Amino acid sequence: MDRGLELLKKVIQVANSSIGFDDRLQGILDLLIRKEGVERAILFSMTPDHETLELKKISPRNVLWDGSPFLAAKTPIGDTIHNHIPLLIPRLNRKEHKALVKHSLLKGFNSLIVLPVEDDNLVYGGLCLLSKQSLKPDPGQWELLDLVARELAGIIRNSRVYTESKKRIAELSVLYQVGKVIGSTLELDDLIERVVAITAQVINATGSALMILEKDSETVVVERKFGSVPPSVKENIFRDLLDQKGNQIVNRGTTSPSRNRDALTLKDKNHQGSGETHQISSFMCIALNFKGPYRGRLCVYEKISLGNGTTVYFSEEDLSVLSTIGNIIASSLENALTFQKIETLARKNEWMVRNLSTLYQIDSAMMTSSTLKDLPQIILEAITLKEGLGFSRAILLLADEDKKILTPMAWSIQRESDQDPSLKKRDHLTGNELSGYFVRQAAQIRNIRQEADQVVHDIKVPLTKESGILARTFLEGRAFLVDRVMEDPRINKELAKRLNLDSFASVPIYAKDKVVGVIEVDNFINKRPITEEDLYLLSMLAHQAGLALENARLYAFIEKTNNELKVARERLIESEKMVAIGEMASGLAHEIRNPLVSIGGFVRRLNKKFSGDDQVQSYFQVIINEVERLEKTLNEIMDFSQDPRGNYREWDLNRIVEEALGLIQRELDEGQIKVQKQWGKIPKVFGDNRQLGHVFYNLFLNSCQAMPQGGLLTVRTYSDKGAERSWVTCEIKDTGGGIPPEVLHNIFNPFFTTKVHGSGLGLPIVHKIVTRHNGEVDIDNRPGEGISFLIKFPSAKEARQQLQRITTIREENHETDINR
């Protein structure tokens, strides 16, 4: 039989035998040895990148070489494979082959045959046959070798198909197992437990670990180990992978997960001093791809061979299994995470709703107490009551912007025992009752002198950054939580000692976007740690408190404005009353004046007729004088009710006041009253000098009468330009004890007097004249001390403009009258 056919027959036998693929390849190579003078046969396989040739099989098997299994593709061997053309190098010792023979696998041979190992579709590698003699195959031999190479290609192809399908099956079974596990639960905890277990189990690793971080906050949301995992794995591998080189690894991890076949030596960061190290012979790690805001790692450690229980390396297959697991669990984990998050949110919401309703009740308690005085105490009670926020102590400090300090306005300490036993438990109270409860508690507490007063009442915190956290809370407008007071360099040591603090929190109180104060809270009695949640609630309460404080302030303001309005209204009524009196007086004047004129006129005539009779004349003179006196009084009443505006001129108010002072000189001297005069540079006023003088005369007279034992009369003139009007003002200030508040509202009433011989017309006339001149009268009454009258007139310029307008209107009216 032909030797060639003999060989081919054997090759086909081997190729179709039931032994493993590797053994078949080896067997075929072994068959080639010694045939046709071949002394060494090598099967190279082409790596997927076509860059290198990798030693797959060699015969004889006991070849000694330096170990390098690779060969660059850019060699005559590689070219042959690429070109699909067999190659014969009869003499390897030629110069051009120097580089090739350097490779230890090819060393020491004379000639080389290379055959591409390929089928119709794919190139798998190359078959090299080496001999010390010169190889010279004839065409029949070439054909035979080509057939053998094709046979080898067939075996390799079959092996790949087999591996591929094995992998598929393995993957499917993993899918099945993992899917079964994760489909059975939605509880995150449960799921994680099962994931790490099944991962280790499927890959046959001794340990596995799973870690998931939230992308932005870097907070660990899941961290679970299974089996034996080196203790430093979490700190080192995960942190390193996710934090420092996180992105890098994630990128690599998604395309080609990191794998380490070499022993990995890790220094345990927690035991850096001890220098303890952990040996991991192998580990494998993949990135978990989440759609949401998470990133994660799934790792396995130390694979055990199924046969003898020794440690083996992870294979590509293991990696693809791990990736498969990763892909399946990622979405389940994400769902569970989301589910958990939603649940947490729901719980938090519930918590918020509960606290909000407490806050609301505290808030409505605050709103029911509209006085500024009670409010701070109520806020603090709410903070310290067990039924409220339950702090041991709370201090409310308000800022004194002028003095640049924070001072305590109110404070409260939780009292364990002295709660009103008659009160129902808070849980059983309705919203309204609860508000009342807080208010009552506050009222009760106000009456109890607290020992804390001693400690707290004279605290003064300068508003500078250096004076501690409370000042900073105010200045920076944000909350602070200080855990370990004594170790914190920012705090005010003296204050902390005084308040016996070891931890505290402080929040700013805002009123209308502006920080107005600070609330300090601590648990110096019960030592309960202050949590972020506490701080959160406190901030909310402080916000409410700010609003309430602002409301109370507004309320006080409105109340004040209201009172002022009431006074203004009363004044208005007052002046209307006086107009009525004026009208009455003028009607009266007519009735009285005519008879007076008759009486007076005829008596004067009588007086003339009886000239010579002194006695009769003296009688007449009495009547004449009395009538004159009556007429004068009548004129005064008329002055009070009417205004001879025709006499208006521009006057220097300083002169008028000075002259009025002159009229009162006698009274001033008699009463030993000192006068202080400050004449300001003021514009002229427009009016009737006689009436204006009367104003000041009346006021001076009143001041003198109020200071019978002497005193100081200050007379000051000045002008001030207001936003709408500019006034020329004369202030008359005395030290006569002022007017009792309860009668103050009467002083402009005609006939109101507290004097035995007073007529009670002085101030009403003052008022009448001043308003007639478009001026105003202001009073600064300081009961027990003295009173100031501020007499304000518009400047002449302004007054003329006003008068102009009035006269124009009048004339228009008269014209229509006349033309009627």
For residues 337 and 316, give the distance between their C-alpha atoms in angstroms, rounded to a whole number.
30
Phi/psi for 481 (5° steps) reads -130, 115
Among the candidate windows 64-72, 118-126, 282-290, 621-629, which touches other proteins by CB under 8 A? Answer: 621-629
Under rule CB under 8 A, residue 769 binds other proteins? no
Under rule CB under 8 A, residue 27 binds other proteins? no
Q: Which of 644, 662, 740, 783 binds other proteins (CB under 8 A)?
A: 644
Tokens for 447, please give them. Answer: 């009456």
Under rule CB under 6 A, residue 791 binds ligand ATP? no
Under rule CB under 8 A, residue 805 binds other proteins? no
- In total, the chain counts a number of residues equal to 820
Of the candidates 219, 240, 241, 238, the residue with the CA atom closest to the CA atom of residue 229: 238
Min dist CB 567 to ligand ATP, Å, is: 16
> Which is closer to Mg ion, CB of 329 or CB of 777?
777
Under rule CB under 8 A, residue 215 binds other proteins? no
Q: With contacts defined by CB under 8 A, how many residues of the chain interact with other proteins? A: 33
Under rule CB under 8 A, residue 800 binds other proteins? no
Q: With contacts defined by CB under 5 A, how many residues of the chain interact with Mg ion? A: 2
Query: How many other C-beta atoms lie within 10 A of the C-beta of residue 550?
Result: 16
Under rule CB under 6 A, residue 639 binds ligand ATP? no
Q: Which of 27, 693, 762, 794 binds Mg ion (CB under 5 A)?
A: 762
> Which is closer to ligand ATP, CB of 39 or CB of 776?
776
Min dist CB 646 to ligand ATP, Å, is: 27
H or E element at residue 112: strand 111-118
Cβ-proximal residues to 472 (8 Å cutoff; 6+ apart), any chain: 465, 480, 490
500 dihedral zone (left: phi>0; alpha: psi -120 to 50; beta):
left
DSSP label at residue 93? T
Q: Please choose which of Mg ion, other proteins, ligand ATP, none residue 624 contacts, taking the beta carbon within 5 to 8 angstroms, the exact cut-off set by kind.
A: other proteins
Under rule CB under 5 A, residue 361 binds Mg ion? no
Tokens for 696, please give them. Answer: 């000041």
Min dist CB 693 to Mg ion, Å, is: 15
Q: Which of 45, 702, 749, 774 binds Mg ion (CB under 5 A)?
A: 702
> Which is closer to Mg ion, CB of 504 or CB of 700?
700
Between residue 160 and residue 189, which ones bind other proteins under the rule CB under 8 A? none
The full DSSP string for 428-480 is G--HHHHHHHHHHHHHHHHTSPPTHHHHHTT--EESSGGG-HHHHHHHHT--E
Report which residue's Cβ sits closest to Mg ion: 762
Between residue 640 and residue 669, which ones bind Mg ion under the rule CB under 5 A? none
Under rule CB under 6 A, residue 761 binds ligand ATP? yes
Between residue 695 and residue 754, which ones bind ligand ATP under the rule CB under 6 A? 698, 702-703, 706, 734, 736, 739, 747, 752-754
Under rule CB under 8 A, residue 440 binds other proteins? no
> Which is closer to other proteins, CB of 646 or CB of 741?
646
Under rule CB under 6 A, residue 760 binds ligand ATP? yes
Q: Please choose which of ligand ATP, other proteins, Mg ion, none residue 752 contacts, taking the beta carbon within 5 to 8 angstroms, the exact cut-off set by kind.
A: ligand ATP
Under rule CB under 8 A, residue 691 binds other proteins? no
**Rounded (10°) CA dihedral 544, 547, 552, 557:** 180
Min dist CB 774 to other proteins, Å, is: 16
Min dist CB 671 to other proteins, Å, is: 35
Under rule CB under 6 A, residue 807 binds ligand ATP? no
> Which is closer to other proteins, CB of 376 or CB of 600?
600
Among the candidate windows 26-34, 42-50, 472-480, 757-765, which touches Mg ion by CB under 5 A? Answer: 757-765
Sign, CA dihedral 213-214-219-221, equals: negative
H or E element at residue 66: none
The full DSSP string for 766-809 is HHHHHHHTT-EEEEEEETTTEEEEEEEEEBHHHHHHHHHHHHHH
Query: How many other C-beta atoms lie within 10 A of the C-beta of residue 310?
Result: 8
3-state class of 56 per DSSP? strand
Among the candidate windows 288-296, 465-473, 631-639, 757-765, which touches other proteins by CB under 8 A? Answer: 631-639
Under rule CB under 6 A, residue 318 binds ligand ATP? no
Report which residue's Cβ sits closest to ligand ATP: 762
Min dist CB 786 to ligand ATP, Å, is: 7
> Which is closer to Mg ion, CB of 128 or CB of 763?
763
Among the candidate windows 406-414, 532-540, 699-707, 713-721, which touches Mg ion by CB under 5 A? Answer: 699-707
Min dist CB 590 to other proteins, Å, is: 4
Tokens for 440, please give them. Answer: 């009552």
Min dist CB 660 to other proteins, Å, is: 23
Cβ-proximal residues to 315 (8 Å cutoff; 6+ apart), any chain: none
For residues 667 and 445, give the distance between their C-alpha atoms in angstroms, rounded to a whole number.
58
Three-state SS sequence of 626-679: HHHHHHHHHHHHHHHHCCCHHHCEEECHHHHHHHHHHHCHHHHHHCCEEEEEEC
Of the candidates 482, 488, 548, the residue with the CA atom closest to the CA atom of residue 521: 482
Rg (CA), the chain: 56
Q: Please choose which of Mg ion, ligand ATP, other proteins, none residue 818 contacts, taking the beta carbon within 5 to 8 angstroms, the exact cut-off set by kind.
A: other proteins
> Which is closer to Mg ion, CB of 546 or CB of 762?
762
Under rule CB under 6 A, residue 782 binds ligand ATP? no
- Is residue 466 within 8 A of residue 492, CB to CB? The reply is no
Q: Which of 326, 762, 775, 794 binds ligand ATP (CB under 6 A)?
A: 762
The 574-603 contact track toward other proteins, x by CB under 8 A, reads ------------x--xx--xxxxxxxxxxx
Cβ-proximal residues to 495 (8 Å cutoff; 6+ apart), any chain: 459, 461, 468, 470, 501
Q: Please choose which of ligand ATP, other proteins, Mg ion, none residue 747 contacts, taking the beta carbon within 5 to 8 angstroms, the exact cut-off set by kind.
A: ligand ATP
For residues 771 and 127, give the distance between their C-alpha atoms in angstroms, rounded to a whole number.
126
Of the candidates 298, 12, 360, the residue with the CA atom closest to the CA atom of residue 152: 12
Q: Which of 198, 787, 791, 796 binds ligand ATP (CB under 6 A)?
A: 787
> Which is closer to other proteins, CB of 736 or CB of 764?
764
H or E element at residue 158: helix 139-183
3-state class of 722 per DSSP? coil
Min dist CB 705 to Mg ion, Å, is: 7
Min dist CB 370 to ligand ATP, Å, is: 35
> Which is closer to ligand ATP, CB of 489 or CB of 784?
784
Under rule CB under 6 A, residue 660 binds ligand ATP? no
Q: Whole-angstrom distance between the N-terminal and C-terminal Cα of the chain? A: 159
Among the candidate windows 303-311, 460-468, 563-571, 697-705, which touches Mg ion by CB under 5 A? Answer: 697-705
Residue/partner pairs of 231-236 with CB below 8 Å, 24 or more apart: 231/268, 231/278, 232/266, 232/267, 232/268, 232/269, 232/270, 232/278, 233/209, 233/266, 233/299, 233/301, 234/209, 235/268, 235/269, 235/270, 236/266, 236/267, 236/268, 236/269
Under rule CB under 6 A, residue 211 binds ligand ATP? no
Q: Which residues bind other proteins (CB under 8 A)?
A: 586, 589-590, 593-605, 624, 627-628, 631, 635, 638, 641-647, 810-811, 814, 818
Q: Which residues bind ligand ATP (CB under 6 A)?
A: 698, 702-703, 706, 734, 736, 739, 747, 752-755, 758-764, 787
